């Protein structure tokens, strides 16, 4: 089995040249860019305006078009990045499905199943990263890039394992004991690398929330806030002192020092 030389690379980083080319394509194909020049050309052709007027109108139209696209630059770039990410992931998945089928076709169904499981996990991680349409943080980009690298690295190693199996189980040329030993040792190392990658990609999936937003995953002691906790404790003590004073004054002097109706002394339930 030969691996393709034109495999898609990781989604990130997105080449700036690809992004710029896509911007130009959208801008040039948009009527917003070329339609405003039609009246200017018509005025020059049919109204017999001078070259100076024509140049001035064309310059004004050009300035307006440039201002329009600049005002939409951030929104346009965000949409283009989303499109490029979807296209990249779809291209990667298409190639990996081909390699799954190739392994299956060549009698290595177990490796095809393994690669299919990796592909499913890759798609889960990518869906979780992009599901809310929020901006792509450096952490999201790094995780997706690493997952992409692991995927195609695993595909390479499964390809190597299939070659080892063919050589060991279906040798065209007989193997000496020494050759078999070296092949089996190498096969174990490659298989171990695939198992490690599977463990890592599963661990990444299990901890994805923490990796993408560490602050939202604090628990126990990590979730404490010293200043706020001290302020809450002090305020509760002040309320308790006020309660005791009020109770004493009420007992000694009657209802004159009772609870004011317009002031609530109740703490929120979570502070009781």
Cα–Cα distance for residue pair 99/8, rounded to 1 Å: 13
pLDDT tens-digit readout, 95-133 = 999 999 999 999 999 999 999 999 999 999 999 988 776
**Ranked by mean pLDDT, which of 2-6, 81-85, 179-183 comes out on top?**
179-183
Is the pLDDT at 266 greater than 60? The verdict is no
Q: How many CB atoms lie within 10 A of CB 144?
A: 22
* Cα-to-chain-centroid distance, residue 17: 21
Are 106 and 1 in contact, with CB atoms under 8 Å apart?
yes
pLDDT tens-digit readout, 131-189 = 776 677 888 889 999 999 999 999 999 999 999 999 999 888 888 999 999 999 999 99
153-167 burial code (b ≥16 CB/10 A, e <16): ebbebbbbbbebbeb
State the number of CA atoms in the 13 A half-sphere of 53 facing the CB: 11
Quick one: three-class SS letters along 11-33?
A: CCCCCHHHHHHHHHHHHHHCHHH
């Amino acid at each position: 089995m030969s691996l393709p030389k034109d495999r898609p690379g990781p989604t990130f980083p997105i080449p700036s040249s690809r992004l710029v080319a896509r911007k130009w394509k959208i801008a040039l194909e948009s009527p917003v860019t070329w339609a405003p020049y039609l009246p200017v050309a018509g005025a020059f052709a049919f109204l017999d305006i001078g070259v100076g007027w024509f140049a001035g109108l064309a310059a004004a139209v050009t300035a307006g078009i440039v201002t329009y696209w600049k005002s939409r630059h951030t929104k346009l770039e965000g949409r283009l990045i989303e499109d490029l990410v979807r296209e990249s992931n779809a291209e990667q998945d298409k190639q990996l499905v081909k390699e799954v089928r190739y392994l299956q076709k060549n009698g290595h169904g177990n490796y095809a199943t393994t690669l299919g499981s990796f592909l499913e996990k890759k798609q889960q991680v990518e869906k979780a990263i992009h599901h809310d349409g929020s901006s792509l943080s450096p952490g999201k980009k790094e995780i997706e890039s690493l997952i992409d690298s692991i995927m195609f690295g695993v595909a390479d190693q499964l390809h190597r394992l299939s070659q080892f199996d063919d050589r060991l189980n279906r040798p065209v040329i007989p193997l000496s004991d020494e050759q078999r030993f070296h092949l089996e040792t190498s096969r174990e190392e490659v298989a171990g690398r695939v198992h490690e990658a599977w463990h890592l990609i599963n661990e990444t999936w299990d901890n994805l929330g923490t990796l993408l937003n560490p602050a939202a995953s604090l628990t126990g002691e990590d979730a404490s806030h010293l200043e706020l906790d001290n302020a809450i404790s002090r305020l509760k003590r002040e309320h308790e002192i006020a309660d005791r004073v009020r109770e004493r004054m009420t007992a000694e002097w009657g209802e004159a020092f009772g609870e004011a109706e317009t002031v609530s002394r109740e703490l929120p339930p979570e502070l009781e």
